[in-house]
A = this chain, B = another copy of it.
Amino acid sequence: MGKQSAIIGGGVIGAGWAARFLLMGWDVKIFDMDPEAHRKINEVLENARRSLPGLYNVKLPDEGSINFCDTIENAVRGAEWIQESVPERLPLKHKVYHEILKFADKNAIIASSTSGYKPSELNGGIQSQSRVVVAHPFNPVYLLPLIELVPAVDASKPMISRAQKILSEIGMYPLLLRKEIDAHIADRFLEAVWREALWLIKDDIATTEEIDDAIRFGFGLRWAQMGLFETYRIAGGEAGMRHFIEQFGPCLSWPWTKLMDVPELTPDLIDKIAGQSDAQSDKFSIRELERIRDNNLVGILRSLKDQNWGAGAHLRNLDRLLSNNDYNFQAPIETLSRAIPLDWVDYNGHMNEARYLQAFGDATDKFMELIGCDSSYINSGSSYFTAETHIRHLDEVKAGSLIRIFTQCLSGKGKKLHLFHTMMSNERVLATGEHILIHVSLETRRSSMPSKSVAAVLSQISIAHSKLPIPMGAGAGIGKR
């Protein structure tokens, strides 16, 4: 049996947690009294299955099992991680923890998704040492990595380390808070902006759509990759942060914002906001909006991954953790095994033409790594460049499908390397990619001989592969079958 987690409360947040654990190979037991819980959780799971696996460049573990339980007892027994995501009412939470603590394993981590309560408040009603930690996620939980992790003041250090480790293993980015505080960090900002936004709508300065545009066409783009301070550090220029504060600091006491007061949520104001929101967004259903959002987030996260920055750089950690390092050189080598990400497909969901070459290029990169042409080799001034490519597109494949590439070395002597990739989805051959690469000096940009050690590994592989049958389609001219 694999690792086991318990999800107490299966709303949109609890379901997001369930999806993360499941898709990372954990077994999940869910307790939720809502008769609709099953359907709702499956909808979130469906969204997660189409978007999360493709974020990574390696195949995720096989999905765990999911079970719905009638009692908290059945859900939490044997679980290593217990995540509470019930509504934000303290007495209800206390009641739930009371039940959890009766049946939880001694070492189980008990975490709350609360966006506002402090651990001292959560633990206040419990006859036990401060077991409950805050692990506050952000919707969609299956895509956004941030977790605000807030342990109780007397929480055990090894438990905190274990919580950080588990969260990292399921692809989260745990931000350990130094002190407990109402609403942690992020929600204090969200609260401040929300309050100001309500005034802008009440006073007819802007509509919901105009406010959204003022965010997503401007500073929202900045905040997806650097936050507040690194952005302002740049704004300070060579003179730095100190200069920025001197320039911008005094404005803070100007009477710009209305934040000192809370607008009353009268029925009129609620009508106004709901009406504007309909005008802005009701051309899409919530399900459509969720999928648009997920497509966007996958694209943004993967573009940051390409740049090895922030939330994108973070994705690379799991790639490293999960990558296969057991290669057999006697057969075609499995150089790629991954889900097709949402940003690789066209509008009808099929993998785009150019992405076939991207996958073959990734497979070539892995082959390079295996023969010792890795980043340190490249930094030392040599590499292989692709001179020629021949792709045969044989079948289509959809977003989310698992693809694998097997690479056969047709020849690898001297400056020239001849590779043949076969891309499969289960037993279907999707495409073949045949490549001629030339070893080059990165200084002269001209062909050169590979190092002795690279040549030796290549020779070993090409001798082994010369005993394999020549793959169908190899060496063919374009248009000739």
Contact residues of A with B, CB < 8 Å? 12, 116, 138-139, 144-146, 148, 173, 175, 177-179, 181-198, 200, 203-206, 208-231, 233-238, 240-242, 245, 248-249, 251-257, 259-260, 262, 265, 270, 273-274, 276-278, 280-281, 286, 289-290, 292-293, 295-297, 299-304, 306-307, 309-311, 314, 343, 348, 352-358, 360-361, 364, 385-393, 396, 418, 434, 436, 442, 445, 475-480
Minimum CB–CB distance from A42 to chain B (whole Å) comes to: 15
A386 cross-chain contacts in B, Cβ below 8 A: 353, 393
Q: Is the CB of A224 within 8 A of B218?
A: no
Q: Is the CB of B178 within 8 A of A310?
A: no
A194 cross-chain contacts in B, Cβ below 8 A: 228, 248, 252
Q: Is the CB of A477 within 8 A of B479?
A: no
Q: Is the CB of B175 within 8 A of A257?
A: no
- Please tell me how many copies of the chain the complex holds: 2
A289 cross-chain contacts in B, Cβ below 8 A: 226, 230, 233-234
Minimum CB–CB distance from A52 to chain B (whole Å) comes to: 14
Q: Known contacts A273-B245, A436-B479, A477-B476: does B205 contact A215 (CB below 8 Å)? A: no
Q: Considering only CB atoms, which chain B residue lies closest to A183 in the complex?
A: B256
Q: Is the CB of B245 within 8 A of A265?
A: yes
Minimum CB–CB distance from A345 to chain B (whole Å) comes to: 10
Q: Is the CB of B188 within 8 A of A215?
A: no
In the assembly, what is the distance between CA of A276 and CA of B232, in Å? Answer: 13
Contact of A212 among B179, B226, B352, B391 (CB under 8 A): B226
A208 cross-chain contacts in B, Cβ below 8 A: 228-230
Q: Is the CB of A225 within 8 A of B293?
A: yes
A352 cross-chain contacts in B, Cβ below 8 A: 361
In the assembly, what is the distance between CA of A365 and CA of B65, in Å? Answer: 44
A387 cross-chain contacts in B, Cβ below 8 A: 392-393
A300 cross-chain contacts in B, Cβ below 8 A: 221, 224-225, 300, 303-304
Q: Is the CB of A185 within 8 A of B212?
A: no
A235 cross-chain contacts in B, Cβ below 8 A: 12, 139
Q: Is the CB of A186 within 8 A of B219?
A: yes
Q: Which of A260, A278, A293, A434 has the most CB of B within 10 A?
A: A293
Q: Which of A116, A256, A476 has the most CB of B within 10 A?
A: A256
22 A–B contact pairs at CB < 8 A?
Answer: A116-B254, A177-B210, A178-B206, A181-B200, A182-B256, A183-B257, A184-B214, A186-B215, A189-B196, A191-B256, A192-B192, A194-B228, A215-B228, A216-B224, A223-B223, A226-B296, A245-B270, A296-B310, A306-B343, A354-B354, A475-B479, A477-B480
Minimum CB–CB distance from A115 to chain B (whole Å) comes to: 9
Contact of A192 among B195, B253, B306, B389 (CB under 8 A): B195
A229 cross-chain contacts in B, Cβ below 8 A: 197, 208-209, 211-212, 273, 276-277, 280-281
Q: Known contacts A254-B182, A277-B233: does B224 contact A224 (CB below 8 Å)? A: yes
